[in-house]
Amino acid sequence: MVKNNRIEIYTDGSCHTKIGIGAWAALILLTDRREILTGVEEDTTHNRMELVSVIKAIGFVANNKPEASLRIYSDSQYVCTLPDRLPRLAQNAFLTRRGTEIQNADLVKTFIKLTEAHDIEWIKIKAHQRDGSEQANHNRFVDKLSRKLVRERIVQLKFRSDLQKG
């Protein structure tokens, strides 16, 4: 909900790592409504889906309420620690010690551009909590939604494969 011009966002990503099917979900609480953003990708990873969920949510706000500050809730250690790691990553030109590009460099660069333009408070929350709090309920919602999207996509692909065989 927008409180003092602050929008609350809940994000999550999921991936079936063996077959590379992933999905992401974001719940954006605006003053007058809730926006739910989702997507499904193939040949992806869990961390990519976590990043995409945040990027899509911030992009939505940038296009609709650019003056708002954000409070982003995530159960992803990767996402929540990324803002603190950004200066060092940029200083090292997004390269590892071995001189290869860091994983998800494309998304990290997009993440930087979007986060620099907003006042963002990052809240790391524990995953899958059932304490009845609003934060836990919203986090469980995006978690369940992203996992459901992965399962649905796997079923779709299996159905297509079965049709092609038969």
Per-residue pLDDT reduced to its tens digit, 1-39: 555 678 999 999 999 999 999 999 999 999 889 999 999
Which letter does DSSP use for residue 102 in this model? P
- Separation between Cα atoms, residue 26 and residue 161, nearest integer Å: 30
- Residues 26, 28, 32, CA angle at the centre, nearest 5°? 150
User: Under DSSP, is residue 37 helix (H, G, I), strand (E, B) or coil?
Assistant: strand
pLDDT confidence tier of residue 130, bands split at 50, 70 and 90: confident
Q: What mean pLDDT is reported for the chain?
A: 91
Quick one: pLDDT at residue 126? 82
161 located within any domain: yes
Report the CATH number that the domain containing residue 109 is assigned in CATH.
3.30.420.10
158 located within any domain: yes
154 located within any domain: yes
85 located within any domain: yes
- Separation between Cα atoms, residue 156 and residue 140, nearest integer Å: 24
The parent domain of residue 10 ranges over 6-165
Tally the domains of the chain: 1
Residue of 150, 160, 147 whose CA lies nearest to 12: 147
CA 53 to chain centre: 2
134 located within any domain: yes
128 located within any domain: yes
- Strand (E) or helix (H) holding 9: strand 6-16
1 located within any domain: no
For residue range 77-94, list pLDDT tens digits in order: 999 999 999 999 999 999
Overall average pLDDT of the 130-144 stretch: 87
* More reliable by pLDDT, 28 or 157: 28
pLDDT confidence tier of residue 62, bands split at 50, 70 and 90: very high
11 located within any domain: yes
Task: Count, in order, helices (H) and strands (E) of the chain.
Answer: 4, 5
Number of neighbouring beta carbons within 10 Å of residue 133: 11
